[in-house]
Amino acid sequence: VCQDKYMIFFFRFSMDKLSLEESEDKSQEGTNKAAKGGIIYGDYLQLDKLLTAQVLQSELKGNKIHDEHLFIVTHQAYELWFKQILWELDSVREIFQNGHVRDERNMLKVITRCHRISAILKLLVDQFSVLETMNPLDFFDFSKRDYLTPASGFQSLQFRLLENKIGVPESLRVPYNRRHYRDSFKGNENELLLKSEEEPALLQLVEKWLERTPGLEPEGFNFWDKLQATIEEGLKQELAAAWARPDSEEKEEALAELQKQKEVFTSLFDEKRHEHLHSKGERRLSYKALQGALMIYFYRYCNTFQM
């Protein structure tokens, strides 16, 4: 019996080995396309340039510091991702500017590319965790010797272009050494920044698009009046329920909270109040665009707004 079991085991092992050998042989079948010429991986990605672009200033000064390499690679990776974001952002802005956003197929492109930008931005935040593996004292080793002076992340051209093209207003910029952000750039770089300031930003383009949301017309569906009536009726019912409670601390808290909600909604439907908040930078969209955004949100499950 033992001998039979051994023979069965040996047979199965032999078959498995044979099957593996056949699989390995098949994996080697096919044509080696690289042998026929054409572009190869390293040439396509220009790795000879990319992988030799890490020049340690500490090493040039005769005192190579290990963690400077991580510092350089991390920031170069940021710049590559900024380049990709700008690539996607410019394509989205072009679709809006040319009026092609009315085509649902192009709208799908806009959503896909904006999601891609969002995913990259999340990745860039997570990338800080890699940089945080460097001890602050290790960073101090090469930063204290003026190896980085006067270099600063504030001098990233691509990041400044990204700010302008998304729609960061001048009033929300953080000044660097109390100087205008363009003072760090000269020549062609300064011209690129000026051009990006003059072009319509994504925020402006989306704002104009939201203002054209179907259903806002007073003589048509009149979403805004319907929303106001619904909210006022809801608040009225909640206030009645709160007043019906027995006198208690909870009742007073509920009434106070409902009063706050009423003030918020009153400001929402007060165009002059909205314009005042808009002028202070507390609201970013125009009154009409805000209406469009809220309509899309509340009717997001309708086929019209499905994408």
Digit-coded pLDDT (tens) for 169-197 = 888 887 777 888 898 899 999 999 999 99
List the one residue out of 248, 251, 280, 285 whose CA is nearest residue 268: 285
CA atoms of 258 and 266, how far apart (whole Å) = 12
Environment class of 278 (CB within 10 Å of its CB; exposed 0-12, middle 13-18, buried 19+): middle
Angle between the 68-97 and 104-126 helix axes, to the nearest 10 degrees? 160
Query: Running DSSP on this structure, what letter comes out for residue 269?
Result: T
Identify whether the C-beta of residue 201 lies closer than 8 Å to the C-beta of residue 162: no
Residue 102 is predicted with a pLDDT of 78
What pTM was estimated for this model as a whole?
Answer: 0.81
179: helix, coil or strand? strand
Identify whether the C-beta of residue 175 lies closer than 8 Å to the C-beta of residue 103: no
Q: Which two tokens stand for residue 244?
A: 């019906």
Q: Which two tokens stand for residue 14?
A: 């032999």
CA atoms of 116 and 135, how far apart (whole Å) = 32
CA atoms of 89 and 91, how far apart (whole Å) = 5
- Which residue type occupies 62? G
Residue with more model confidence, 297 or 143? 297
Q: Which two tokens stand for residue 72?
A: 């350089």
Residue 179 is predicted with a pLDDT of 84
41: helix, coil or strand? helix
Range ranked top by mean pLDDT from 77-86, 239-248, 250-259: 77-86
Q: Which two tokens stand for residue 122?
A: 């999340």
What CATH class is the domain 57-202? mainly alpha
Residue extents of the structural domains in the chain: 57-202, 213-305
